[in-house]
Amino acid sequence: MDEPARVRAEVVRLHVLVEGLLTGAERDVAEFARAHAVDFTLTEPGGRTMDRDEVLKMIEGARGAVPGLRIAIEDVRVVAADGAFVAAAYRETQTRADGSGDVRAATVVFEREESAPYGLRWRHLHETWVGRE
């Protein structure tokens, strides 16, 4: 599998897991935790930056809170890569059961790590609002 395909597969894999956690179809947060580097950070669309522990606590507390949620990933592309890191961008659309939702533009930095799915571990994620309903 080439690098763009591995990046796309990992972005989709993690968002399938997130969708499952938020809808309640998936209950185990451990796989989500393993996907993220110890020093992972998330900058939310509103601008707040959280560390890995804060993100894990947020996901744990939100399990099953959004029944009917669907997350779609599009336009995944590698932005830059070297021997240690891969930076990629993608578009994420979240649609709730009532039809409301939002669209986010995201940039992710992955660490290369053989033991991680697709050889990529999430190091930083920055999301920006594109549209909200």
Please give the DSSP secondary-structure letter assigned to residue 114: T
Q: What is the pTM of this model?
A: 0.96
Identify any residues that bridge with 72 across adjacent strands, giving them in sequence order.
93
* CB contact at 8 A, 78 and 87: yes
pLDDT category of residue 133 using cuts at 50, 70 and 90: low
- Placement of tokens 């009532």 in the chain: 98
Span 24-33, mean pLDDT? Answer: 92
Residue 19 scores a pLDDT above 90: yes
pLDDT category of residue 56 using cuts at 50, 70 and 90: very high
Q: 33 or 26, which is more confident?
A: 33
CA distance 26 to 13: 13
Write out pLDDT tens, residues 100-132: 999 999 999 999 999 999 999 999 999 999 977
Span 45-66, mean pLDDT? Answer: 97
The parent domain of residue 103 ranges over: 3-132
Structural domains counted in the chain: 1
What is the predicted pLDDT for the residue at 27? 81
Span 74-81, mean pLDDT? Answer: 98
Query: In residues, how long is the chain?
Result: 133
Dihedral angle computed from the Cα positions of residues 26, 118, 89 and 86, in that order, rounded to the nearest 10 degrees: 140
Span 63-71, mean pLDDT? Answer: 97
Q: What is the CATH number of the domain that holds 90?
A: 3.10.450.50
Q: Are strands 36-43 and 120-132 parallel, antiparallel or unpaired?
A: parallel
